[in-house]
Amino acid sequence: MSDYFPAEIHIGGPIRLRHVDDLITEMAQQNLSLHGYGNPAATKATLRQALQEGTIIHLYDDEARNGCFEELEEFLVRRRIHFDRLSAAFCEYSGEKVFYRGRGQPLVRLADQAGKVVIGVEELAAILDQKNHSDSDRLKALRRLINPPECTLLTPIQFRKE
């Protein structure tokens, strides 16, 4: 059974021109708003216009299934299109912030209602309790936990031929 609660996805970075039409179709099928929660769904024409502005695309859904955009996110990963997703906390679900920068799998982190990444005490303790690692290694692990490379700022859309 699925629960439906607010989520937003931001799309940016390099996009191959050959993926633009399919991206517009995929975004339009999700019935997402370009203008915040509670607004009408974007059309293919408004999505195309938003892409042509060359900024970061912000899409919203008041009732995203399980707080994510499964099909759209899979589409973006398959085409290596960068995105961030923020899902609100709801009932037994924690808030999530997801980062994808064109490599590997998306990084999923817990987030508060303001979209700030939350690090659990257990995660910190697990690193600090690694007695077989040097202080330097533990410090590097803490830095990676706090500021992983996947969490770089999302850049505006840049169209590429290939």
Domain extent listing, the chain: 4-118+151-160
pTM of the model: 0.88
* pLDDT at residue 66 in the model: 86
Query: Could you tell me where the beta strands, DSSP code E, fall in the chain?
Result: 4-12, 14-16, 57-65, 82-87, 95-100, 107-111, 158-160
**Helical axes 44-52 vs 20-29, angle rounded to 10°:** 130
Give the mean pLDDT per block of 10 residues along the chain (162 residues).
85 96 96 92 95 94 91 97 90 84 92 84 90 90 85 93 83
* pLDDT at residue 1 in the model: 56
